Amino acid sequence: MVEFRGRRPGSGDGEDAVFGLEEVTGDDARFESPPYRVRRYRRAPGRHPVMVQEAVGPDAERRMRHHFDLFGALADFHGPHLPRQLAHVLAYDDTERPHRLLVDCRGTRLCDLDSPDLLHGPMLRTVVQDLFEALAGLHEPRLVHGRISPEHLWWDEAEGLQLAGLDGAVYATEPLPERPAGPWDGRGFRPGLPAAADQDVTSAALVAFWMATGETLPRGASHEHVHAQLGQGHEEWLQDLLRAAFPLGSAVSPPARELVRRLAEGGGPQLPFERPLAERAREREALARQEFRALRARQRTGAAGLRASRFVPAAVRRPGWWRRAAVRLGLIDLRPQAARGPVECPMCLSGLDWGTAERVVLDESRGGLVAESELPPVSGPARTAQLARTYVVCPGNDDVPRHELPYRYPTFDTEPLRIGLVGASTTGKSHLLAAMIDQARKSTVMGRYGLRVEALDPQRYHRYLSEVVTPFIDGRQELPATADRPELRYSTGLIVTDEHSGRSHSVVFFDVAGGRLERTGRESDFLNRLGALLCVVDPTRVPGLTARGGTLGRDPAFEHVRQRLRLQQGDPSVPFLPLPCALVVTKSDLLRFRGYREIDGWLHEKPDAEGDLATVERESEDVYAFLGARGGGDWLQLAGECQGSTLHLASATGTGPRDPGDQAAARRFDEALFRQHRVLRPLLALLAMKGVMTGPAADALLRGRGHGT
């Protein structure tokens, strides 16, 4: 924690103030913005992002003092109605060098974006309106910015657009500062010209055109040329704005406040680049929604057929009140009991007699795994602790080497649940699983639904945390692609206990290399006995969905897994595979602000997106319609063949990784944007469809279409 002491802006010299600041780390925590050095902080309490500018040299000190004085005049003029779209000066410190300015400014400069695509979508019109609101707030006390450009505009997803750079502003009729003309200056600009508000309006209109199109108009273009450019099919609100800002027959643009009024009229924001093709897209979306509802009707009918064929058990009933009360009072013993009968290994599918199979115990004092027969017998709490370190040895087969299974794996008198992640390499499976495990252990969401989560194998679980979860979540490191190793291991395992039913289930996750999912040998036999699928769709593989990639086409892992399950688990007389599927469009942060109306509301949900599982069915229909109408139909086939299916939007990172200067270093995610969003909903859906989670929330999720299996 550091302190910033300075004077607040306003009448006179301003009052002294002290601000507590928390340092921000990361690649962009410090940067140069000549003639200043800039450092990012978070203001305490509340951790609100702010910046501290340090003046470099006497000229920078003069400009900084000018900025402080101008903002004080703005604060006096507007009072409590000072526009939020102007980057607010909080305090100024000139007691020692370097002089410093504390500015309530956040987000990313538009000039630092690779393209303005990030702004596209329903919010674009609002972003442009923010720009003209800032100008109107400047022009009312007769100030002129004089340098409107993406360099002075900051955008934050939550706060909108802010205009900075007031150190070069002047009052109207004062000469414009010396600087070369740029692409954002209107026709006739030259240094020394008397400043006028319409010069800002012209520059802002040129920036708005770039925001919407990614293109810049030729410097000094005539009003007639601008109007000719607008005949290329741009959306109506942009055409109206630019025609007003560049009026034919006049060299003077209208006031910024008039353009704000024009942008605010007409109800909600319109989508950018609305074309006649949009109508065809809406028709495809409507057809996809019809297909989804038909699928749901078939799944409800098919559930009875599956149970009649004895391919799956009947839906788990909620236990009676007497059992629930006995569990809460501790009258029913939920400790692991010895498994009865043969147990199928989840990795090689060998049958093991759990009572007589070879057992080993992890004993660090003896250097690792030791045969249980070599240890002295123990009882009571010591025996329970030893069982947590005990493994049953499975001999494996020619394709899967010898391995060990936690003793507790089959000992809860319930069927263990095996969840397989499906998707090609680099689709984000490992990131999604790591985010799920981290959220399941740290957040309060699981407890909210009556679920208690603990490690199935504490040793392997803690190794997974230290090698995968901690570097990813705490270190913000990009995880390497999952290696295609000859030995097969599940990634991690949990014990999930449901307080509503009093039952515990072992849940193991298989996150293997995408190439292994496509092979047909015995090394992939574990696919044949999966109990649930977690299918990951990378939107960059779907042509046209994002600005990145989209040329790879369909995911071969989906088709290979579908064919494998159809051969091994399918019944020709029943149309559905007897297992549930949660399909997740991950990296969904790439889909924001692109005008996808069917999913945009889910992408902008508040952080507590796991709070209402009753909305999963509506989300599933919207995601199905999104993929079905926009070229992602190939990814829907596997979900459409499973008896139970849900579809989700999630992001394990919230942003893409940044390339480090050192090519040998791991890529990291931006600290300010890194977050996990909606990652638990797919897991909760699978647990509900498998009967692991019961109670009102599971009933709400499953309502109207029955249990998956």
Given this model, what pLDDT does residue 376 score?
83
DSSP characters over 285-350 = HHHHHHHHHHHHHHHHHHHHHHHHTTSSPPPPPPPPHHHHHHHHHT-S--S--PPPSEEE-TTT--
**Residues 6+ away with beta carbon under 8 Å from 129:** 260, 263, 264
Express each pLDDT in 124-152 by its tens digit. Answer: 888 888 999 999 999 988 899 988 899 99
Distances (CA, A) of 312 to 342, 419, 562, 573, 578: 19, 16, 18, 14, 6
**Residue entry with tokens 């495809």:** 284
Give yes or no for residue 306 having a pLDDT over 60.
no
Q: What is the mean pLDDT of residues 185-214?
A: 83
* 3-state secondary structure at position 101: strand
* Model pLDDT, residue 607: 57
The structure's pTM equals: 0.62
In angstroms, rounded to a whole number, what is the distance separating the alpha carbons of residues 245 and 257?
Answer: 12
CA separation (Å) from 74 to 18, 32, 67, 82? 22, 26, 11, 7
Contact 653, 585 (CB under 8 A): no
**Residue pair 185/205 in contact by the 8 Å Cβ criterion:** no
Gap between the Cα atoms of 146 and 700, Å rounded: 57
**177 pLDDT tier (thresholds 50, 70, 90):** confident
The DSSP bridge partners found for residue 371 are: 360
**pLDDT band with cut points at 50, 70 and 90 for residue 640:** very high
**Residue 311: per-residue pLDDT:** 38
Taking the CA atoms of 149, 150, 151 and 156 in sequence, report the sign of the dihedral they define. Answer: positive
Q: pLDDT value at position 568?
A: 78
**CB within 8 Å of 57: residues ≥ 6 apart:** 35
Cβ neighbours for 118, distance < 8 A, ≥ 6 positions apart: 155, 592, 593
What number is the average pLDDT over the span 510-533? Answer: 81
Q: Name the β-bridge partners of 651.
A: 677
3-class state of residue 648 by DSSP: strand
- Any residues with CB less than 8 A from the CB of 622 and at least 6 apart, and which? 598, 599, 602
Which of these, 72, 64, 68, lies nearest to 34 by C-alpha position?
Answer: 64
On the CB side of 482, how many CA atoms lie within 13 Å of its CA? 29
Which amino acid appears at position 623 of this protein? V
Which stretch of DSSP H or E encloses residue 374?
none
Q: How does pLDDT run across 602-614, given as a tens digit for each residue? A: 887 665 667 788 8
pLDDT at 360: 93
Which tens digits make up the pLDDT trace of 336-369? 555 556 899 998 888 999 888 899 998 877 778 8
**Residue owning tokens 């093991």:** 352
| Alpha-carbon gap, residue 617 to 632, rounded angstroms | 19
DSSP letter assigned to residue 466: I
